[in-house]
Amino acid sequence: MTLAKRIIPCLDVAGGRVVKGVNFKDLKDAGDPVELAKKYGLEGADELTFLDISASVEERETTLEIVRKTAEQVFIPLTVGGGIRSAENVNELLRAGADKISINTAAIARPDLINEISDRFGNQVLVLSVDARRAQTKSGFEVTTHGGRQSAGLDALAWIGDAILRGVGEILLNSMDADGTKSGFDIEMLSAVRKISSVPVIASGGAGKISDFAEALTAGADAVLAASVFHFGELRISDVKNDLAKRGFPIRA
């Protein structure tokens, strides 16, 4: 059975509001997370990703109350990330209504966290979020932290390979070079990760026009994540899905 390709709106939340910028800078208010989540659920999104982008920078945990309210409004899988530092944080978020958990900065600081979460809850709940950019590393890509503000000193492909062995169930690959630019997904990076990944890969960063989604799926993405093009009404989820279906991709109606 061929698995349907997924379209995933991303809610980047800071200070209780959905925000979006370019390369994580010049953030603009895009609305209320609970209202947007409800809207995307009705419009046919396959999943939702909720990232508390200021949690790691401010060294605090993800806002449980917003997660709870969002989970009450949507009936599709909800992935939550930002400020998760322990298996207990994961437990709280799953109890608040999250279906999957995305980790980034904390896993880089302490890779054993991946093993702990995977061993306790199963790898199906664990998404590794990788904010990668071009750099002078073995693969040509490095990992960044703190919303792309700092280099983690890790080769992106080596890190992803290690994380898969430790038990992550999915890779959310965000191109920091393409993020918010609307110039298309980083196909070169995506293809390189696809070659080494035994788990599903979600492409993120750069969605601008409808054909960008098909390009990412052709390059090996199992799902495509986008934010500003949906938040500001430039593209509709139904139009993206119709285009992909016409091109022969398996899509959930």
The CATH number given to whatever domain includes residue 66 is 3.20.20.70
pLDDT in the model for residue 56: 56
Q: Flag whether the pTM goes above 0.75.
A: yes
pLDDT in the model for residue 196: 97
1, part of any domain: no
| 131 flagged as catalytic | yes
User: What is the C-alpha to C-alpha distance for residues 142 and 153, in angstroms, rounded to an integer?
Assistant: 7
pLDDT in the model for residue 61: 54
Residues 46, 131, 179, 186: which is the catalytic one?
131
251, part of any domain: no
253, part of any domain: no
pLDDT in the model for residue 31: 84
Lowest mean pLDDT among 59-63, 120-124, 167-171, 205-209: 59-63
Model confidence at 23: pLDDT above 50: no
78, part of any domain: yes
Domain span including residue 102: 6-246
Helices (H), 87-232: 87-96, 105-109, 112-121, 156-166, 187-196, 210-218, 228-231
Label residue 165 exposed, middle or buried (CB < 10 Å: 0-12, 13-18, 19+).
exposed
11, part of any domain: yes
The chain-wide mean pLDDT, for the chain, equals 91
Q: Report the C-alpha dihedral over residues 25, 26, 30, 31, rounded to 10 degrees.
A: 100
81-96 pLDDT, tens digit each? 988 999 999 999 999 9
147-172 pLDDT, tens digit each? 678 899 999 999 999 999 999 999 99
In Å, how far are 20, 57, 70 from 108, measured between CA atoms?
24, 14, 28
Structural domain total, the chain: 1
